């Protein structure tokens, strides 16, 4: 299989090199003037197009093959060996540089969809031709004694228009297997024929006379063809203009004959005109392609939305500024038993039971007036069979004068099932007692448990306050998302270090509280000391690849006889303050007799 692909690639490369040779021979035979270089040189453009677009093109064999064929063409044209070799090097460098630069800074993939593609393509071609013209000018200087700068200029005037015009033209006319040019309405063949006939007729008018410079008349039919056919229309139009203009120019007619100068100058001006009008049309084709792509994408997304909306179990709706239904998905008929067609255009309140209409009407008025942006309300509606269903309306104001929209869900079963109601109540209770970031109990839950333990007073009750050291600098340096990661990690370490009977809660930004019920005061202190050490030993790997070490300071107080909750927490907080003040990353134990604290390093 590999051998088959190799043979196919080689044959494709050979075929295009043969085409290059035929075009090169035609150019040197019919368009040379005064023994200099050819006035028209489309051969390199054909090869550049093949390299850019043909997947079967062999990039390994074409440079030496091009060099050999170029040398033969120039030798057959009567050039000396020095000039022939120099021209061959120039052609090879020009083709290779053009292909590489266009691929790098102006990729062919989706090129007619990008407005600035033509500009980047022109830069790549200009750089390539500038380099090859320097080499060709040197060949003329060394081989035939001509002026180096003059030879380079003549080479550039012949090769630059050839590449600028022919490469985009061939790329546009080639079939695009990926179908990148998305059009909602492809033009009919009769339309294409009519546009091309219009371009041809105007070309005859412009180039068939020699009295007036009417080249500007080519733009309207060219732009019209581009508007309907996009880049391919521009390419076909320029091809027709090129053939008709060349015919009249070589028969001695056309506006270019008004120029005073050699035939080469007239050919260069003609090519410059073609390049100018072509590059005026290409951005228009790109804009139109982008327009159709966006329109097609919007249409596809709208279809996807309707496809999804038709299958959603909840009712999706929209109400206009007059309070009438303007959109309902098929789920409405299943919920109410009334067809969507009969409801559209009817007031929204008509479907609601009389008892709920006043409240919903007030909420709807506030939503439409802009005094509120969202609506969430449970109402009852009548079904077609006379039964009543309870529904929840979730709506959002769409804009001034545009009404509101949202969804309606049937909550009858939710309101009638006690078990479900209890689950909701339990979920709210859990949310009210849990810190959302760390998953630990929050301040409210901690003090509820602390009050219960102090009331029981069956064992030693100790309260510890923990605070992350330099947490503000972590937030300032790495950002709050990283700070959240650090808080969650510290919470995990503290929870894993304590016993199942102990409680840790997040009671502030970077503050944690620990409740320990133990058989002895020393056991409680040992547990908190172990927590301080565990945190300082933990490494936190951040998503950015940075490994972070954090420490905590801690203060602990054991409940004394007759001491209430506030006094206990105050002593623990004072002990934490001393730990912070005396160096951080340490535990300080509160002294009950004096309410002072003494430091104890972890």
Query: What residue segments make up the domains of the chain, in order of their start?
Result: 1-166, 174-310, 313-413, 432-587
- Identify the pLDDT of residue 598: 44
In tens, the pLDDT along 563-594 reads 888 999 999 999 999 999 998 999 999 876 54
- Under the banding of pLDDT at 50, 70 and 90, the label for residue 600 is very low
Q: Which of 188-192, 245-249, 379-383 has the lowest mean pLDDT?
A: 245-249
Distance separating alpha carbons of residues 329 and 145, to the nearest angstrom: 83
- Under the banding of pLDDT at 50, 70 and 90, the label for residue 65 is confident
Residue 393 · residue 375 · CB < 8 Å: yes
What is the average per-residue pLDDT within 172-201?
A: 67
- Under the banding of pLDDT at 50, 70 and 90, the label for residue 196 is confident
| Cα radius of gyration (the chain) | 41
What is the average per-residue pLDDT within 39-67?
A: 81
Distance separating alpha carbons of residues 80 and 89, to the nearest angstrom: 14
Packing angle, helices 480-497 and 521-537, rounded to 10: 140
Laid out side by side, the sheet with 587-590 consists of 503-506, 511-518, 460-468, 552-558, 587-590, 597-600
- The CATH superfamily holding the domain 432-587 is Reverse transcriptase/Diguanylate cyclase domain (3.30.70.270)
The CB-side HSE value for 348 (13 A sphere, CA atoms) comes to: 29
- Identify the pLDDT of residue 1: 43
What is the average per-residue pLDDT within 406-424?
A: 73
> Which sign, positive or negative, has the C-alpha torsion 413, 417, 423, 429?
positive
Residue 297: CB atoms within 10 A of its CB come to 11
Asked if the 313-413 domain carries CATH number 3.30.450.20, the reply is yes
| Mean of all residue pLDDT scores within the chain | 81
Distance separating alpha carbons of residues 124 and 108, to the nearest angstrom: 12
Nearest to 205 by CA among 195, 196, 218: 218
Residue 473 parent element (H or E): helix 471-478
Distance separating alpha carbons of residues 42 and 56, to the nearest angstrom: 22
Nearest to 287 by CA among 114, 403, 44, 69: 114
Q: Which CATH architecture has domain 1-166?
A: Orthogonal Bundle (1.10)
Catalytic-residue membership of 510 = yes
Residue 381 · residue 290 · CB < 8 Å: no
Q: What is the DSSP letter of 267?
A: H
pLDDT at 262 over 70: no
In tens, the pLDDT along 106-144 reads 665 555 666 677 778 888 888 998 999 999 889 888 988
Q: Which of 94, 113, 510, 538 is catalytic?
A: 510
Nearest to 532 by CA among 546, 557, 512: 512
- Under the banding of pLDDT at 50, 70 and 90, the label for residue 178 is very low
Q: Which of 182-191, 546-555, 573-582 has the lowest mean pLDDT?
A: 182-191
């Amino acid at each position: 299989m590999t051998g088959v692909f190799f043979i196919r690639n080689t044959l494709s490369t050979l075929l295009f090199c043969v085409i290059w040779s035929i075009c090169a021979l035609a150019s040197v035979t019919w368009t040379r003037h005064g023994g200099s270089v050819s006035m028209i040189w489309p051969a390199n453009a054909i090869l550049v197009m093949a390299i850019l677009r043909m997947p079967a093109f062999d990039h390994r064999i074409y440079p030496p093959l091009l060099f050999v064929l170029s040398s033969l063409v120039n030798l057959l044209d009567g050039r000396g060996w020095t000039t022939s070799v120099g021209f061959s090097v120039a052609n090879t460098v020009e083709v290779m540089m053009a292909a590489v630069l266009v691929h790098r800074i102006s990729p062919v993939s989706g090129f007619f969809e990008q407005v600035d593609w033509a500009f980047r393509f022109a830069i790549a071609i200009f750089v390539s031709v500038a380099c090859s013209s320097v080499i060709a000018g040197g060949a003329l200087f060394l081989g035939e004694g001509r002026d180096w700068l003059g030879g380079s200029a003549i080479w550039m005037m012949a090769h630059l228009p050839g590449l600028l015009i022919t490469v985009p033209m061939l790329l546009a006319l080639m079939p695009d297997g990926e179908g990148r040019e998305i059009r909602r309405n492809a033009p009919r063949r009769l339309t294409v024929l009519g546009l091309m006939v219009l371009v041809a007729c105007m070309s005859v008018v412009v180039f068939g006379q020699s009295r007036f410079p009417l080249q500007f008349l080519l733009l309207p039919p060219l732009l019209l063809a581009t508007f309907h056919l996009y880049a391919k229309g521009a390419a076909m139009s320029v091809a027709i203009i090129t053939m008709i203009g060349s015919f009249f120019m070589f028969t001695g007619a056309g506006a270019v004959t008004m120029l005073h100068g050699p035939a080469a100058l007239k050919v260069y001006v003609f090519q410059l005109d073609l390049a100018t009008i072509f590059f005026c049309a290409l951005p228009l084709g790109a804009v139109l392609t982008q327009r159709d792509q966006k329109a097609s994408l919007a249409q596809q997304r709208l279809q996807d939305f309707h496809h999804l909306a038709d299958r959603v179990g909840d009712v999706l709706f929209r109400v206009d500024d007059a309070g009438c239904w303007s959109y309902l998905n098929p789920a409405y008929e299943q919920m109410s038993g009334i067809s969507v067609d009969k409801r559209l255009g009817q007031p929204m309140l008509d479907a609601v039971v009389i008892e709920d209409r006043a409240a919903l009407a007030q909420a709807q008025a506030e939503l439409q007036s802009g005094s509120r942006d969202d609506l969430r309300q449970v109402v009852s509606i009548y079904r077609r069979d006379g039964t009543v269903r309870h529904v929840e309306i979730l709506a959002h104001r769409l804009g001034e004068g545009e009404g509101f929209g949202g969804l309606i869900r049937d909550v009858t079963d939710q309101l009638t099932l006690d078990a479900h109601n209890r689950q909701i109540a339990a979920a709210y209770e859990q949310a009210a007692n849990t810190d959302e970031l760390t998953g630990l109990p929050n301040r409210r839950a901690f003090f509820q448990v602390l009050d219960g333990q102090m009331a029981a007073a069956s064992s030693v009750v100790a309260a510890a306050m923990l605070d992350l050291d330099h947490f503000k600098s972590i937030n300032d340096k790495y950002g709050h998302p990283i700070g959240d990661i650090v808080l969650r990690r510290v919470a995990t370490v503290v929870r894993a270090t304590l016993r199942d009977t102990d409680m840790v809660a997040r009671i502030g930004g970077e503050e944690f509280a620990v409740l320990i019920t133990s058989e002895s005061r020393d056991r409680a202190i040992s547990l908190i000391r172990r927590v301080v050490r565990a945190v300082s030993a933990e490494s936190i790997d951040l998503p950015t690849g940075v490994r972070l070490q954090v420490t905590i300071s801690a203060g602990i107080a054991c409940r004394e006889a007759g001491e209430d909750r506030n006094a206990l927490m105050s002593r623990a907080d004072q002990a934490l303050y001393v730990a912070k003040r005396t160096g951080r990353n340490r535990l300080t134990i509160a002294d009950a007799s004096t309410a002072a604290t003494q430091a104890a390093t972890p």
